[in-house]
Copies of this chain bind each other. A is one copy, B any other.
Amino acid sequence: MNALDHDPGIEAFRSRRPREECGIFGVYNHEEAAKLTYFGLYALQHRGQESAGIVVSDGCRVTAHKDMGLVPDIFNERILEQLSGHMALGHVRYSTTGSSLVANAQPFTVKHCGHSLAIAHNGNLVNARDLRNRLESKGSIFQTTMDSEIVLHLLARSLKRGLEQAVLDMAVKVEGAYSMVLMTEEAMIAIRDRNGFRPLCLGRLDSGYVVASETCALDLVEAEYIRDIEPGEVLIMDKGGLRSLSLPEGGRRSQCIFELIYFARPDSNVFGENVYGFRKRQGRLLAEEFPVEADFVMPFPDSGSYAAIGYAQASGMPLEMGMIRNHYVGRTFIQPSQSMRDFGVKVKLNPVRELLKGKRVLIIEDSIIRGTTARTRIKTLRNVGAREIHMLVSCPPHCCPCPYGIDFSTRGELIAARKTVEEIRAFAGLDSLGYLSMDNLTRATSIPREELCFACFDGNYPVPVMEELSKFSLE
């Protein structure tokens, strides 16, 4: 059944580079910790569909369950009942193409000197390869290819000084993006790197605490939002209550703008900003910047939906749903034959011929990465008779890869790294194409520009990347 994939030490080395974007959810001190975490992960499923896991502690014993797949496929009532304890830590991981491995699922847990230590990590370390080499040369044996495991080996080597000190020692060594939560039998520790690349927020539920990547997970479990974990903060939850340490100074805040543009759910607040509102403002500013002549505006479901609403409201242009999403499309389906080339697009999004025929259409998109998806969709619209097709993108062109945990293609695959806007327009088969300017993107949020990371647009990397970008992965 699980042919050839049982051996973590070996098999992990075969998998393709994973997409690092992930979701974290932790509960401290609640009698239904595992069940709450199950629902929390459900709300964060958009942050990772490859694998999911929950680790619980009842104060003495740590129990874990994780597997490949979606949250509802991995857990059931019986499993949740066995995950008993008042602390729980959960994680969802991004779907990769190619083979993925349960050994790389998180939370990652080890037993060391009689104690359990679990980690759930969102982000990407930029000096992982160097750290691993050093550790291996001292005799450490790694079980996975995840950079997250490095954190545990660093902790294991200074655990004699106590867990809190070991965390501070570790933080001096690792570089890059990490929002992470550690759990032992008795304590939970939430840590956010000094730049604050990835979100992590804190809520209160009854007499306990909840940490989550996005507020939509707090909403679902009806926890009250308290505040974000601060960049550079180490928040300890244990019998003594809540305590905060600070990581050594260094760096500036550089929170990822792409979380707001694309990654986070519209019903979340991220970095203190409401995502739905932000995206509608992107649409309004697009309407200001590009007053296109068209019969109606439409998104491709669901990527540009909220910016399209913003555009429609600002411009007075009617909003339509020109492509209908098939809600039953699973993640895998059979490839059409050569002669059926367009089936693949239309299985997911079918154009409404009666609506589109002879019309001038304006599409709002949230991003163009490689350009191929846009190109095939636009061809499909042309085939049913759309007369003109214009597209506006709610951010500037992506021309730089991200070393901090979002799996953009390498620079070579980013269409905007190789082509001008006019060339992209021609490639995609559009009548016109516009990108929101960097200034307008900045205006769409109330977060100060200097506290955000725009590296994927401008190549301005807030943490130096010493390793080759193509070598972020340990594989």
**A residues adjacent to B (C-beta < 8 A):** 1-4, 6-13, 32, 35-36, 38-39, 42-43, 45-46, 49, 53, 55, 62-67, 70-73, 75-80, 82-83, 102, 105, 108-113, 116, 133, 136-143, 152-153, 156-157, 159-160, 216, 219-222, 265-267, 269, 274, 276-277, 302, 305-306, 309, 312-313, 318-321, 324, 326-330, 332-337, 339-340, 342-343, 346-347, 350-355
Contact = CB atoms under 8 A, between A and B. Distances in A.
A321 B306 CA distance: 8
Contact of A332 (B63, B72, B320, B321): B72
B7 A72 contact: no
Grouping DSSP codes into helix (H, G, I), strand (E, B) and loop, the A interface class, with mixed when no group exceeds half, is mixed
B267 A352 contact: yes
Residue among A7, A62, A142, A152 facing the most chain B CB atoms (10 A cut-off): A7
Contacts of A329: 42, 72
A63 to B, nearest CB: 6
A216 B3 contact: no
A313 B2 CA distance: 50
B221 A267 contact: no
Contact of A72 (B157, B333, B351): B333
A9 B313 CA distance: 54
Contact of A65 (B4, B79, B332): B4
Nearest to A1: B67
Given A276-B352, A277-B355, A142 B111 contact: yes
A67 to B, nearest CB: 6
A35 B141 contact: no
Contacts of A39: 336, 340, 343, 347
16 contacts: A4-B65, A9-B109, A10-B62, A39-B340, A42-B328, A46-B326, A71-B328, A113-B137, A139-B140, A139-B156, A140-B156, A143-B143, A267-B351, A274-B354, A276-B354, A302-B327
Contacts of A141: 110, 112, 140-141, 143, 152-153, 156
A168 to B, nearest CB: 17
Contacts of A327: 46, 302
B9 A116 contact: yes
